[in-house]
């Protein structure tokens, strides 16, 4: 018996063995989330977001949030990074770093603390994904920083 499209999308999004951030292209992930917010009643949309936060393993939730945030900001095909002033990018990077530090530390979450291996992976991933894009920003490329 074929599933409805909505059932398929929900199964795809909530299946904890399927990591959306690695297995789906960004545009499909965004389409999936956008379709769900349009197709579901508002209370179910909030329930879905709540379930994503609390029912999925924490590292899968973080993977999803990190990929959506970083790819939206730093995807070279979107060129959004070039539209932000340098100060906003530095501020956002500091804020993301602060949030990431809180998230990956062993603070008492609803779920137990993350294993060191996963925390290390998230920190390395953060650096590898964000720093190259920031270094290509025109405000940094053209800055002399006092060096001549």
Residue 4: the pLDDT is 56
Q: From 57, 61, 67, select the one nearest 128 (Cα to Cα).
A: 67
What SS3 state is found at 134? helix
Task: Enter the pTM of the model.
Answer: 0.25
Question: Is there a contact between 145 and 91 (Cβ–Cβ < 8 Å)?
Answer: no
Angle (CA) 10 103 28, round 5°: 30
Confidence class for position 55, pLDDT limits 50, 70, 90: very low
Question: Is there a contact between 3 and 11 (Cβ–Cβ < 8 Å)?
Answer: yes
CA distances from 97 to 11, 24, 43, 122 (A): 32, 25, 32, 11
Mean pLDDT over 104-122 rounds to 50
Residue 50: the pLDDT is 44
Q: What is the DSSP string of 10-38?
A: HHHHH-TTS-HHHHS-HHHHHHHHHHHHH
Average pLDDT of the chain to the nearest whole number: 52
Residue 29: how many CB atoms within 10 A of its CB?
19
Sorted by where each begins, the domain ranges of the chain are 1-56, 57-141
The yes-or-no verdict on residue 117 having pLDDT over 50 is: yes
Which tokens sit at 9? Answer: 């999308």
- Return the top range by mean pLDDT from 13-17, 38-42, 43-47, 116-120: 116-120
Q: From 132, 95, 47, 92, select the one nearest 83 (Cα to Cα).
A: 92
Mean pLDDT check: name the lowest of 16-25, 120-129, 138-147.
16-25
The yes-or-no verdict on residue 20 having pLDDT over 50 is: no
The yes-or-no verdict on residue 70 having pLDDT over 50 is: yes
């Amino acid at each position: 018996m074929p599933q409805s499209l909505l059932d398929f999308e929900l199964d795809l999004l909530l299946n904890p063995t399927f990591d959306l951030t690695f297995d789906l292209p960004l545009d499909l992930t965004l389409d999936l989330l956008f379709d769900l917010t349009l197709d579901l009643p508002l209370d179910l949309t909030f329930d879905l977001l709540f379930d994503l936060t609390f029912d999925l393993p924490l590292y899968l939730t973080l993977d999803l949030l990190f990929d959506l945030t970083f790819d939206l900001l730093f995807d070279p095909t979107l060129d959004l990074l070039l539209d932000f002033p340098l100060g906003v990018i530095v501020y956002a990077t500091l804020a993301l770093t602060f949030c990431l530090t809180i998230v990956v530390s062993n603070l008492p979450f609803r779920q137990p603390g993350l294993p060191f291996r996963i925390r290390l992976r998230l920190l390395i991933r953060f650096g590898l994904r964000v720093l190259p894009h920031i270094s290509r920003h025109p405000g940094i490329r053209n800055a002399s920083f006092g060096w001549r």
